[in-house]
Structure 1
Amino acid sequence: MWWDSWSDLARVVLVGTSAYAALVLLLRVSGKRTLAKLSAFDLVVTVALGSTLATILLSADVSWAEGVVALALLAGLQLAVSWATTWLPGGRSVVTARPSLVLRDGVPDTTAMRRQRLTLDEVRQAVRATGAGGFDQVAAVVLESDGTLSVVTRDQVGDGYALSGVPGWDAR
């Protein structure tokens, strides 16, 4: 079907514009954390927000008010989870993966890499991106909870405090 009516198009424009404005307002109110690098939970919320916005735009069965309440609910749940991960002991571990040490003192941990589905080529790429030419220059490579690889060279390790809490590093 190519065309229904002008009123359907007008509804999409009017409801879409106001729903979009409401979503932008909710994201601004909910803070930077909602738009930060995505954990698995953040990704789910982001996809749900997009799906909800699309439903508001395209389904005449969902009123603008219902849609905005759904968007507010998702933003509120995101705030609640971010609060819980900040203030409750162990709250972060429920929704966020712990970092994994995949290279220590120049030696790759193949067991950890296999467990994290990470290849040696990906670790090499991360090391090269820091400007290091070899693993012998690297104190640690950490697969962070957001999926990025952090490389700490031997020159940068200092007292190692930034690596505390990474399983496998504390055993030094």
Structure 2
Amino acid sequence: MENNIVIRNLQEKDIDDLVEIEELCFKTPWTKHSLQKELKNKLARYKVIEKDSKIVAYAGIWFVVDEGHITNVAVHPDHRGLGHGNQIIEALIDECAKSNIISMTLEVRKSNDTAIKLYKKYGFKLSGIRPGYYTDTQEDALIMWKDIEKGEEI
């Protein structure tokens, strides 16, 4: 990994960078207030990639019993194609493995081929469809699941 890249837990000081990434990446971005609430959510774990003191990618997951539900994955558009999507997914998988989570799930827009390809690379499999899940466009969501193997830390 590059010397100027750090993967770490989300901190309050990172919220403004996350808001910027959300607004650049999503049709319906999470608000600053929603992201701040996640810092207090006992079920939530968030990882960020910091490069040169700026957050360039982040991902969140909720731990519910022994399952991890990925809530957000985003890479700043100026930093795509550099492997940060891989790094942040690997960080979530590691977090799950260390926390005795046995499976991970997520919803992804049916049209988001880049994300779907990334998730498949890490063993996520299509398990269903949520029709009209995304209220901004009525687009369907693909439901994907991954089993965590013992010792799977990446």
What TM-score bracket applies, with the shorter chain setting the length?
under 0.3
TM-score of the two chains, using structure 1 as the length reference: 0.20
TM-score, normalisation: structure 2: 0.22
More strand by share: 2
Q: Flag the structure with larger Rg.
A: 1
- Name the structure with the higher helix share: 1
